[in-house]
Amino acid sequence: MWQQLIQQLQHGNIKALARAISLVENGVEGYEELLVQLPNTSTAIIGITGAPGAGKSTLVDALAGEYVQAGKKAGIICVDPSSPFSMGAVLGDRVRMSSWYSHPQVYIRSLATRGSLGGLTPAIIEITDVIKAAGFDIIIIETVGVGQSEVEIAGLADATVVVMVPEGGDEVQTMKAGLMEIADIFVVNKADRPGADILVKNLHLMLAPAFKNKAHAIPIVKTAALQKQGVPELFEKIETYIACLQSSSKKYNLLAERAYQLIQQKRMRNVNKTMLLDAIQKQYNTSFNLYRFVEEWGQQK
């Protein structure tokens, strides 16, 4: 049923790619059939995360330029936090990346996070696999560093880049818990501002104990994304990191993580809180037992 679409995808047909992504995003009937026919590829996924305003979009824009220059094709996914009230994207399409919108080597797609604020859209794993099938050399996923999204991204990305900016001098002390653990590469952006060297130094100091147990030191790259400074260095560090990955077991860990997420997603597909509330209201009596209820619910599915 999907052979033709997959063939078009593999030939890099952008319209076919947009169509395939929409099918997956909207869960159109039979889309799972499309997924099971996708070819295996070795496209790496780069996650870029950091606080709002750190310069992630500007950085991704500049990084796309490096990939284009290297003759590579880059797929970019911008994950926008949607408001839990309106369910719409708060930030909308990132204007700063508009220069790449119709470039043959770059494909940009914005995704709203749906549901939990900051959480990655449930379909993101499937969508990255569709983009992979369309002959992209790299996929860059940009997420806003709110909620759990940065930790989630680390579970999906082959390399996670954490973007920080010099602000008042105590960035390292106030760094959100968990960020240090997930970073494969640190970027100190807005290096044109005062304090960048101090932040780099503090990051080095903070990371020093962790280096002892790691095969490689975590690179810290200073950039001024707006001026495109330091971006070639970041590109080099990312490429080196990815090259090392091919021979490490992280690949299998990431696949296991994705499988875990997909299984969880599949099991939850027909469950929502309104249905649970309805069922509980109907069944509730003085001998109601939550565990029996959950067990019976599971058997019904």
Q: Which residues bind ligand GDP (CB under 6 A)?
A: 50, 52-58, 96, 189-190, 192-193, 224-226
- Encoded tokens for 148: 């759990």
Least Å distance between CB 179 and ligand GDP?
14
Three-class SS state of 185: strand
Least Å distance between CB 281 and ligand GDP?
43
Calculate Rg over the CA atoms of the chain.
21
Least Å distance between CB 98 and ligand GDP?
12
Residue nearest to ligand GDP (CB): 55
In terms of CB distance, is 193 or 269 closer to ligand GDP? Answer: 193
What is the arrangement of strands in the sheet containing 44-50, beginning at the earlier edge strand?
106-112, 74-80, 138-144, 44-50, 159-164, 185-188, 220-222
Beta carbons within 8 Å of 82's beta carbon, 6+ residues apart = 88, 89, 90, 112, 113, 114, 117
Hey, how many other C-beta atoms are within 10 angstroms of the C-beta on 279?
14
Q: Which residue has the tokens 């094709």?
A: 73
45, 39, 31, 46: which is closest to 1 by C-alpha? 31
d(CA 288, CA 18) in angstroms, rounded, equals 48
Inter-axis angle of helices 3-10 and 14-25, to 10 degrees? 130
In terms of CB distance, is 43 or 49 closer to ligand GDP? Answer: 49
Least Å distance between CB 71 and ligand GDP?
25
Least Å distance between CB 225 and ligand GDP?
4
CB 79 within 8 A of CB 111: yes
In terms of CB distance, is 91 or 207 closer to ligand GDP? Answer: 91
Inter-axis angle of helices 124-133 and 3-10, to 10 degrees? 70
Least Å distance between CB 165 and ligand GDP?
8
Residues, the chain, total?
301
In terms of CB distance, is 43 or 58 closer to ligand GDP? Answer: 58
Least Å distance between CB 196 and ligand GDP?
9
